[in-house]
Amino acid sequence: MVKEEGSTSGFRVVDRRAFAADGSRKEETLSEERSAETAAGPQAIPPRETEGEPRGPFEDDSSRFEMLVSYLSTTAMFQLGLMAGPSGERIPADLPNAQRTLDLLEVLQEKTQGNLTAHESRLLEDVLYELRMSFVEMQKRQARKSK
C-alpha cells in the first residue's frame, strides 16, 4: 500500500545510527533529536476502552462472584474431608485450614454486605451455613476418635 503524502500515521521513524553513510560521526543530529524529544515530553497512551467488550470467560459480575464462592466452598469441603480426591481417594480432614477458608468466606460476607444482589447474598449465607454445620460435625467426629 502506498502512503499518500501529507498524511501521518502517528509513527515517526528516526535514524539513530551514530554514523552517516560516509562513515563520519552524526553526533549533532542525534543530540538535536534528543533535545526535541525532551522538550515535547512523554506521549500519554490513552486508556483502553473496555465498555461493551467481553470481560473474559465470565458474562457478568454476578457469575464471577458465584465462581469465587464456589471455589472457596469447594476448597473448604476438601479440607473437611467431605470430597474425594482426584483419583477417588479419601482425603483426611484438615480442620485448621478448613477454619481459615471459612474465615475467608466470612470476611467476604462482611466486606460485601450491602453490595450484593439478593441471590448472591443468599448463596453466600447458604454456603456458610452448610460449611459451618459440616465443620462442627467433623470436630465432633475427631473428638470421638481421639477418646
Each domain of the chain, given as residue ranges in start order, spans 65-146
Residue 45 near residue 64, CB atoms below 8 Å? no
Q: How far apart are CA 32 and CA 94, in angstroms?
A: 68
| Residues listed for the chain | 147
What are 82's three cell numbers? 467431605
Of residues 99 and 38, more confidence is placed in: 99
DSSP 8-class letter at 114: T
pLDDT digits (tens, 9 = 90+) for 77-129: 999 999 988 888 888 999 999 999 999 999 999 999 999 999 999 999 999 99
Residue 76 near residue 93, CB atoms below 8 Å? no
Q: How many CA atoms lie within 13 A of 71 on its CB side?
A: 8
Q: What pTM was estimated for this model as a whole?
A: 0.58
